[in-house]
């Protein structure tokens, strides 16, 4: 019985260590190269304190346009501060201050690294992120602004709440992400 197990183990070992033919050199004259496994599909982009997809906070507008693969679509452009969209990244408006992308405001349904969405409750947010910084909302009576800062505090994801429900989500660098208002 031991000999049979030993032979089986050796057969498996030799099968695992056999080398595949070089690409284009199959084992018979008509075979093609051995296919390689498909790379794992990338996860869809999610809004984070660093950016969204190919757009990173701190990029210049031309760098962001190159990364997005399309020119931005400004709502109205003011060099000091403008909100722009990219056709390739629907659901987001990016703040551009003095030529630099500093923040993104997400439409409902845009995924984020927190795993929270517009319509979720303040209780859900507090359960997941008990250390999130809660402050009274600047304009909404009994509303709140909740900040989940980056490790170094230079950026954050900010959520707004009214009536116990999340109403807005944005992310970006400080101080831009902290502004309740947007530009233009």
pTM confidence score: 0.76
What whole-number distance in Å separates Cα of residue 73 and Cα of residue 75? 6
Mean pLDDT in consecutive groups of 10 residues from the start of the chain, 184 residues: 37 37 38 39 88 97 94 82 93 96 97 97 96 96 96 97 97 96 82
Question: Would you state the pLDDT for residue 184?
Answer: 58
Give the closest residue to 45 by CA, choosing from 30, 36, 55: 55
Every domain of the chain and the residues it spans: 51-178
DSSP character string of 148-171:
EE-TTSSEEEEEEEETTEEEEEEE
CB atoms within 10 A of CB 109: 10
Question: Would you state the pLDDT for residue 161?
Answer: 97
Please measure the distance between the N-terminal and C-terminal CA atoms of the chain and give it in whole angstroms.
Answer: 81
DSSP character string of 85-127:
E-TTSTTEEEEEETTEEEEEEEPTT--BTT---TT-BHHHHHH
Question: Would you state the pLDDT for residue 33?
Answer: 35
pLDDT, tens only, 25-49:
333 333 333 333 444 457 889 999 9
């Amino acid at each position: 019985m031991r000999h049979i197990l030993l032979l089986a183990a050796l057969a498996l070992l030799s099968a695992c260590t056999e080398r595949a033919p070089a690409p284009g050199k199959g084992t018979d004259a008509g075979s093609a190269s051995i296919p390689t496994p498909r790379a794992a599909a990338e996860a869809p982009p999610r809004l984070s304190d660093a950016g969204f997809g190919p757009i990173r906070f701190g990029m210049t507008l031309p760098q962001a346009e190159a990364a997005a693969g399309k020119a931005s679509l400004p709502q109205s452009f003011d060099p000091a501060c403008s909100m722009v969209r990219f056709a390739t990244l629907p659901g987001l408006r990016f703040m551009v201050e003095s030529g630099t992308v500093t923040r993104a405001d997400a439409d409902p349904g845009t995924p984020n690294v927190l795993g929270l969405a517009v319509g979720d409750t303040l209780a859900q947010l507090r359960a997941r992120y008990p250390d999130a910084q809660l402050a009274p909302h600047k304009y909404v009576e009994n509303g709140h602004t909740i900040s989940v800062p980056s490790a170094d505090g230079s950026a954050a994801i900010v959520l707004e709440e009214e009536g116990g429900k999340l109403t807005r989500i944005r992310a970006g660098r400080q101080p831009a992400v902290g502004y309740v208002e947007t530009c233009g």
